[in-house]
């Protein structure tokens, strides 16, 4: 029994190098708030901090609740926990922010834009998660919810990154708790109904080879936004974690041009 417990503990731990702590860059405003994805850490959006540093801008990349520790902690978290953390991070800024979100972070960034419009100057949606790829994981997660299955964890083979070096060094959990993942899928369904409320300039970036959130999400979201100031960028070689993939230099250039507008 002890041996099995050790193995289970090991499978749920963080895999990959680096420090999962929040990242802060000092500089001028308007500040940039960067929000990572499900099962990830601020390191997966560290590109946001690099752009901020190059421009002399202030940036904050918080660590979401249940992340950066063990999958057991993530299994206890749901949308409200992550939304409260995003709200708190935005509240700590002294002026309206440019909010950048990757995957789950894109849903949280949109949540801030529609619930705190006076605090959000602009929005960047990277590999947005308003729809998940079907049949897996979208239909599978819906089935888990509909059937009321008890929680369990699925092994994570590797992060969805085409660049082999970035995939090998990506810091994430070795397993994903299913009920927390269901919370992401359900949040996407709720938040996409609120897209018409987004009135700020928006940059949408998506990898054409994304296996977690379909590339069709980019145009789907763009067509539903209330804002008409929208730019869509499709990266032909990239998968889901566009901030660490083969075209991360292009992502950085797009972010820089967008941030320089404000």
Domain carrying residue 221: 2-260
pLDDT value of residue 1: 33
- Domains contained in the chain, number: 1
Tell me the pLDDT tens digit for each residue of 63-122: 999 999 999 999 999 999 999 999 999 999 999 999 999 999 999 999 999 999 999 999
Determine the Cα–Cα distance for residues 8 and 154; give it in Å rounded to an integer. Answer: 12
The dihedral region occupied by 10, where left means phi > 0, alpha psi between -120 and 50, and beta the remainder, is alpha
| pTM more than 0.75 | yes
Determine the Cα–Cα distance for residues 82 and 211; give it in Å rounded to an integer. Answer: 23
Categorize the per-residue pLDDT at 170 as very low, low, confident or very high, splitting at 50, 70 and 90.
Answer: very high
For the residues of 148-190, what is the DSSP string, one character each? Answer: TPPP-EEE----S-SSHHHHHT--EESEEEHHHHHHHHHHHHH
pLDDT value of residue 10: 72
Determine the Cα–Cα distance for residues 109 and 93; give it in Å rounded to an integer. Answer: 15
Average pLDDT over the chain reads: 94
């Amino acid at each position: 029994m002890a041996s099995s417990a050790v193995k289970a503990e090991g499978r749920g731990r963080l895999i990959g190098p680096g420090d999962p702590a929040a990242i802060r860059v000092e500089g001028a405003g308007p500040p940039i708030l960067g929000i990572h994805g499900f099962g990830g850490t601020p390191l997966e959006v560290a590109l946001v901090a690099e752009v901020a540093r190059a421009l002399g801008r202030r940036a904050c990349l918080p660590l979401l609740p249940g992340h950066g520790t063990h999958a057991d902690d993530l299994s206890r978290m749901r949308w409200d926990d992550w939304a409260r953390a995003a709200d708190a991070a935005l509240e700590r800024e002294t002026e309206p922010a440019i909010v950048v979100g990757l995957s789950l972070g894109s849903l949280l960034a949109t949540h801030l834009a529609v619930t705190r419009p006076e605090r959000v100057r602009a929005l960047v949606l990277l590999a947005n998660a308003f729809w998940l790829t079907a049949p897996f994981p979208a239909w599978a997660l819906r089935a888990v919810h509909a059937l009321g299955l008890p929680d369990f964890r699925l092994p994570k083979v590797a992060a969805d990154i085409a660049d082999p070096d970035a995939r090998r060094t990506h810091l994430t959990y070795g397993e994903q708790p299913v009920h927390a993942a269901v919370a992401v899928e359900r949040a996407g369904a709720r938040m996409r109904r609120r897209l018409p409320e987004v009135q700020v300039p928006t940059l949408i970036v998506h990898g054409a080879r994304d296996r977690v959130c379909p590339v069709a999400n980019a145009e789907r979201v763009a067509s539903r936004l209330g804002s008409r100031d929208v730019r869509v960028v499709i990266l032909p070689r990239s998968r889901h974690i566009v901030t660490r993939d083969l075209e991360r230099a292009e992502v950085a250039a797009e972010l820089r041009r967008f941030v320089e507008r404000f």
